[in-house]
């Protein structure tokens, strides 16, 4: 968890993807034009065969996806640490006793604040609908007044050039539409099953598969 004395907040302008970035590197470099197949603003739902412990049965909201790579936040990994304990400066922005969510394995001590803006023009980066990241110079008090809901993440998920596209192509991820209530779900441990059930058909069957197939 971050040092509560000075949380390293990731501003919207830092959500840029580096060429040849890897899941252990942070984003850098300039934002290029998004490719036609950009998944920005959509969900990645881990397939049942994805075994990476960082992403097993995860649901990831993609914030940036362009020719240089991708950046997103895991929505369904609440940590055992409350926001008030880890980053007390942000406690006023979230519900009482809300946990910090583990956004991914990249820069695990960096804080990412995702919010639903009352006025989308006030966001530094919009991800889906009115949901996005604050402007880099936004004061916390202003963010509180300008937003309806907020969630605090530690770290994020990152992919280098072409990496995410390859993982989707090989079946590691299922794509889906993102809804505001997915981002701010009150039942994060059920989100994977919920979004698959929403897709229907064979995905609804997958949603009922136990984590250990031998128990089926």
Backbone angle region of 84, left / alpha / beta, with phi > 0 → left and psi within -120 to 50 → alpha:
alpha
Of 70, 74, 26, nearest to 167 (Cα)? 70
Q: Any idea which residue has 């136990």 for tokens?
A: 210
Pick from 11-20, 43-52, 104-113, 132-141: least confident: 11-20
pLDDT at residue 85, as a whole number:
95
Q: Which two tokens stand for residue 203?
A: 């995905």
Helix H or strand E segment including 203: helix 202-207
Question: pLDDT band at residue 212, thresholds of 50, 70 and 90?
Answer: low
For CA atoms 72, 78, 82, 84, give the dihedral sign: positive
Q: Is the pLDDT of residue 2 over 70?
A: no
Residue ranges and CATH numbers for the domains of the chain are 12-202 (3.40.1740.10)
Strand partners, 74: 60
Cβ atoms 162, 37 nearer than 8 A: no
Q: What is the pLDDT of residues 136-164, one digit of tens each?
A: 888 889 999 999 999 999 999 999 999 99
pTM, full prediction: 0.84
Q: Is the pLDDT of residue 27 over 70?
A: no
């Amino acid at each position: 968890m971050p040092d509560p004395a000075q949380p390293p907040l990731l501003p919207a302008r830092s959500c840029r993807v580096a060429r040849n970035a890897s899941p252990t590197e942070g984003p850098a470099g300039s934002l290029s034009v998004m490719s036609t197949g950009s998944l920005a603003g959509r969900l990645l739902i881990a397939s049942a065969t994805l075994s990476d412990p960082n992403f097993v049965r995860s649901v990831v909201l993609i914030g940036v996806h362009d020719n240089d790579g991708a950046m997103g936040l895991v929505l369904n990994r609440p940590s055992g640490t409350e926001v008030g304990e880890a980053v007390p400066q942000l406690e006023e922005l979230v519900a009482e006793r809300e946990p910090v969510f583990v956004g991914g394995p990249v820069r695990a001590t960096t804080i990412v604040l995702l919010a639903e803006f009352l006025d989308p023009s006030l966001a530094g980066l919009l991800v889906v609908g009115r949901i996005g990241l604050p402007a880099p110079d936004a004061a916390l008090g202003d963010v509180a007044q300008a937003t309806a809901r907020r969630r605090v993440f530690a770290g994020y998920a990152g992919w280098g050039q072409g990496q995410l596209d390859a993982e989707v192509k090989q079946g590691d991820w299922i794509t889906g539409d993102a809804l505001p209530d997915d981002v701010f779900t009150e039942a994060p441990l059920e989100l994977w099953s919920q979004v698959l059930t929403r897709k229907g058909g064979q995905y609804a069957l997958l949603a009922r598969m136990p984590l250990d197939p031998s128990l089926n």
